[in-house]
Chain A
Amino acid sequence: GESVGLHLPTLSVQEGDNSIINCAYSNSASDYFIWYKQESGKGPQFIIDIRSNMDKRQGQRVTVLLNKTVKHLSLQIAATQPGDSAVYFCAENINSGGSNYKLTFGKGTLLTVNP
């Protein structure tokens, strides 16, 4: 299950199950969102993105859902594998003034896949 507390939120699933990682974003004006996967000792790796004019986008084994009404983003991973174990960050692209943008990351969720 999922737990949120003083430490990094965690999600533990069995291999082969589907995983859902949730994220609440802060700025209703944000129009572009990205999910990153960060494995131990590595930098964040781009997984999938979505623009605010869409509510769903699919990739290979991954789906991102966007609910602008409640400012919520989710990442669904189908048939989760041990190699999916990592920290997952959502990020929103925020206008920082003029035509410049910067990424702001969510807290992250640690996904652990049990064989």
Chain B
Amino acid sequence: DTEVTQTPKHLVMGMTNKKSLKCEQHMGHRAMYWYKQKAKKPPELMFVYSYEKLSINESVPSRFSPECPNSSLLNLHLHALQPEDSALYLCASSQEQVYSNQPQHFGDGTRLSIL
């Protein structure tokens, strides 16, 4: 079992819906990440939070809105998504973002389908 927990595991939503993806870790990590992964492709970075502050936004459309309520939780709020946003959304965490030699640990993702 992974130490990064993501809910829900699967989500189907219409283009007008509002939903949220949730991620939780209890490893004391201070950096948390959102990635998007399309089938047969590598994960692509979306957002990075370091010490609960947004440090990287990879030019992600505003219909994706991240939130880090505390050091253990990371949310991704979804609104007015497009069919091309259907993908696996992965959350990851690491001890810090500011050092190079620390691996990221991933959850098993939320499989999102937009109708």
Contacts and interface: CB of A to CB of B under 8 A. Distances in A.
A45 interface: yes
Contact of A46 (B45, B97, B100, B103): B103
A90 to B, nearest CB: 9
Contacts of A46: 103-105
B55 A93 contact: no
Contacts of B59: none
Interface string B6-24: 1000000000000000000
Contacts of A51: 101
B107 A100 contact: no
- Main DSSP-derived SS at the A contact region: strand
B68 interface: no
B61 interface: no
Contacts of A7: 40
Contacts of B106: 36, 43-45
Given A42-B108, A44-B106, A108 B42 contact: yes
Nearest to A105: B42
